Chains A and B, each alone.
Chain A
């Protein structure tokens, strides 16, 4: 990846973080922590990995993305808006009456959303169903799904993983956002799903471990996943919950809480400073 490309992705990720916070702040509710931890992944997916067309959101041979951890919709919505699926201003209508931006993703209302999610564990099953259907139809597409690390406490995740392996869904790429925190606290104190890579390996998946804030590693992982035949791939990415906003980082309390006006200003100041810094960087 060129440094110019990397800079563009970092700028997109920074804007996605700002968009997610704008939405949650305006709604006075929502889930900033996991939106921020996945922002770099959202940026990479929507600006590099996925074969999609914002002008034609229902294009049959598009890649599919299912946000299994549906509560981090604010991050997804910001990515979709930035990519041109709908106006950026819509983000401020999050969770309001009349808005197409529901508290959790709704495929019938929001352009670019491939599956309605929110009840944890179901998105990965739907993604597996999509990958299976693509094989039946002979559609050469890839299906991606992003799960939370708390979410994999749901038994259905493992039913779906078993299913995906059994039916050799090698066009399915499962991504786990391992930010280490869920609502009630650190995941290893609430109900430890560790060791995560070993579990997916035991279910027969090809497992890749990466730093979810490093675009080179994300790119290498997706390339490796695409080359992997016969079994689905699981990318387990270490991330920082609340990444990019100093006072939100690694705080379980920011899982599902909106910033007040003062906190919002502070967060946006930090992200604006980062954006200015990124935009000032010279391309090599």
Chain B
């Protein structure tokens, strides 16, 4: 895939915010001293009067964003996933979730692909935390096109949205004509032996796993599940009925994320389709180059292929 264009979805976030800001004067952006990393600085360069630094105070930022939303503006509040979902959890839960105010959380640096910063900054719990808040939409894009589409879809969705973007460059799996709908998964490749349901950077790896499996005569369906909540239950159940097994794959703890969400849907429907969860196995990460970490924590194509056999 060396000829495929790679983009970190945090870059896509910053670029999309700038485009969105041109269309909608009610979009404002908050950041917590990370605008160079979250890429909200791209928006600030275009619309300095609508970008507000909150300093290193993420809890305050979330409740400030709630207040701005209560006044009819559409705030995008940004920090690293660890602090947006973890540090500020209670502000997100009470001031944004409980109120159902129209705040969009743009959380960058999700998962272990944060790399060298180490476990303190490698958030593998954000899907679990955000999924547990009633009415919160939770999304994680696979590539540049999907990340941009999500930023726009979030604007059109009334109510709170959590978007997780990555630090590491990921290859494009979509064309520029890609259409995204909140709550709808996408079948990227057909197959019947196994269905791989993935999101984020694991989608490209899942497609790689499909190629490996094809050489062994195993037919793998690949589903990109960009929205973790609300989950496209119909697409999951279709996979459970038509494939012999399901493998979920996410750059997140196996606890509380996409994998558990898929398990719940399959089990509650009374289907016997087995589900395996590929993800971070209830352990903390550590420092290192992100490619080595993805390998070590079992999130690359060969590991996914192994889980499918």
Contact A160 B64 (CB under 8 A): yes
* B contact face: mostly helix, strand, loop, or mixed: helix
Interface string of A121-136 (1 = CB under 8 A from B): 1110111111111101
- For the complex, what is the distance from the CA of A121 to the CA of B100, rounded to whole Å? 19
Say whether A163 contacts B72, CB under 8 Å: no
Is residue A162 contacting chain B, with contact meaning CB distance below 8 A? Answer: yes
Assess A122 versus B95: contact at CB under 8 Å? Given A136-B73, A156-B59: yes
Least CB distance from A89 to B in Å reads 27
Option from A108, A118, A125 in Cβ contact (under 8 Å) with B64: A125
Question: B145 on the interface (CB 8 Å rule)?
Answer: no
Select the residue from B67, B72, B91 with max chain A CB neighbours within 10 A. B67
Q: A residues within 8 A CB of B55?
A: 159, 162-163, 166
Interface of A is mostly: helix
Beta-carbon contact of B100 and A108 below 8 Å: yes
State whether A129 touches B50 (Cβ < 8 A): no
| Neighbour of B60 across the interface among A64, A106, A139, A159, CB < 8 A | A159
B147 on the A face (CB < 8 A): no
Q: Is the CB of A118 within 8 A of B63?
A: no
Contact with B along A70-114 (1 / 0, CB 8 A): 000000000000000000000000000000000000111000001
Query: Quick one: given A125-B67, A159-B59, A159-B60, are A115 and B94 in contact (CB under 8 Å)?
Result: no
User: Quick check: is B180 within 8 A (CB to CB) of the other chain?
Assistant: no
Tell me the total A-B contact number using a CB cutoff of 8 A. Answer: 109
Known: A127-B67, A160-B63, A163-B57. A122 touches B94 (CB 8 A): yes
Number of interface residues of B (CB under 8 A): 29
Q: A107-B99, A136-B50 are in contact. Are A126 and B67 (CB under 8 A)?
A: yes
Bound CA span A121–B62, Å: 12
B235 at the interface (CB under 8 A from A): no
Within 8 A of B (CB), among A40-73: 60, 64, 66
Is A129 touching B63 in the complex (CB atoms < 8 A)? yes
Q: Which of B49, B65, B70 contacts A114 (CB 8 A)?
A: B70
17 contacts between A and B (CB under 8 A): A106-B98, A107-B99, A108-B100, A116-B95, A122-B91, A125-B59, A125-B67, A126-B64, A126-B95, A129-B67, A130-B67, A132-B67, A133-B67, A159-B57, A160-B60, A160-B64, A166-B55
By a beta-carbon cutoff of 8 Å, the part of chain B in contact with chain A is 28, 49-50, 52, 54-55, 57, 59-60, 62-73, 75, 90-91, 94-95, 98-100
Q: A115-B95, A129-B65 are in contact. List 16 more A-B contacts (CB 8 A).
A: A115-B67, A116-B98, A116-B99, A119-B94, A125-B62, A126-B66, A129-B70, A129-B71, A131-B67, A132-B67, A133-B68, A133-B71, A156-B63, A160-B64, A163-B60, A166-B55
